[in-house]
Amino acid sequence: MKQFAIFGNPVEHSISPIIQNSAFKACNFEAEYSKILLEDGKKLKEVFLQNNLSGANITVPHKEVAFDQVDEIRGIAKEIGAINTIVKEDNKLIGYNTDAGGFYESIKEFDKITPIKTALLIGAGGTAKAISLILRDNGIKVTILNRSQPRLDDFIKKEFECYTFKEFDADIQNFDLIINSTSAGLSENILPLELNVLEQIFNTANFAIDCIYSKDGILTPFLKVANMCNIPNKDGTDMLIYQGVLACEYFMNEFNQRECITKAMKESLK
């Protein structure tokens, strides 16, 4: 039986084994998916090979260090500089980034209602790197807004329009989609931006999405404000599922079963 795993630190909270095992079962793919707590990210390749894995996902904080350990990088991961999926192919480790495609899949339902041409991306961490590039590749103009300057440098090099909170004037710009890719609201009840600035941005926006997923049906602080402003919105659950769907297709080397994989993953979380 083929073996797969997710590497992270911490990894206990990960729901990837639940969604991946349910998709394997639904598609009659004989494989098992487990969690591996990895403290030293530099040992990822060694541990991958020791465990005789056929593939893996990588989560915080190892996505960048994993990028340097595979034999080949494919797709948008080359631009992002981080991978969340590895597949063993002819004894070579191939790295992919499915966070980017997963995010894009998750906003398609908004785009069908009103096409998204501009986006304000709050946050400039690893997730923002993936989101900014996939949106730009799909013709959406992305503006980055971050609390502090240092993480913006990389986005400036990639020629994104960037602002720190201090520099940003919410009066003069409108955006179709507002994205929270910060970790504000993940474990504490805090907003990524001051309430009045957020309300001003939402007033002229069409949609909002938080990369954080709601727990026990409780909305994130960012989405509570979006609701107050009557903006159609969603949390990060679809993003999480779709990155898993795209990874699963690589694991199974099967690209005609997306519907079955997606259905199994969504049901496994109910």
Torsion-angle region of 143 (φ positive above 0: left; ψ -120 to 50: alpha; else: beta) = beta
Which residue lies nearer to ligand NDP by CB, 85 or 127? 127
Q: Which residue has the tokens 């996939």?
A: 134
Using the contact rule CB under 6 A, the part of the chain among 19-27, 72-80, 215-223, 237-245 near ligand NDP is 237-245
Which residue lies nearer to ligand NDP by CB, 64 or 89? 64
- How many Å from the N-terminal Cα to the C-terminal Cα in the chain? 27
Give long-range contacts, CB 8 A cutoff, 24+ apart: 182-189: 182/122, 182/123, 182/125, 182/147, 183/123, 183/125, 183/212, 184/221, 184/222, 185/210, 185/212, 185/220, 185/221, 185/222, 186/212, 189/221
Catalytic residue check, 63: yes
**124 binding ligand NDP? (CB under 6 A):** yes
**262 binding ligand NDP? (CB under 6 A):** no
User: How distant is the alpha carbon of residue 145 from its chain centre?
Assistant: 18
**212 binding ligand NDP? (CB under 6 A):** yes
**75 binding ligand NDP? (CB under 6 A):** no
Considering only 2, 43, 147, 158, the residue that binds ligand NDP (CB under 6 A) is 147
**97 binding ligand NDP? (CB under 6 A):** no
Do the Cβ atoms of 79 and 99 come closer than 8 Å? no
**CA–CA dist 41, 64 (Å, integer):** 9
* Structure token pair of residue 161: 């329009």
- 35, 63, 88, 129: the catalytic one is 63
Considering only 21, 69, 146, 262, the residue that binds ligand NDP (CB under 6 A) is 146
Q: What residue type is 188 in one-letter code?
A: E
Considering only 148, 189, 204, 253, the residue that binds ligand NDP (CB under 6 A) is 148
Which residue lies nearer to ligand NDP by CB, 243 or 262? 243
The footprint of ligand NDP (CB under 6 A) covers 60, 99, 123-128, 146-148, 151, 181-184, 186, 190, 192, 211-213, 236, 239-240, 243
Q: Which residues are designated catalytic?
A: 63
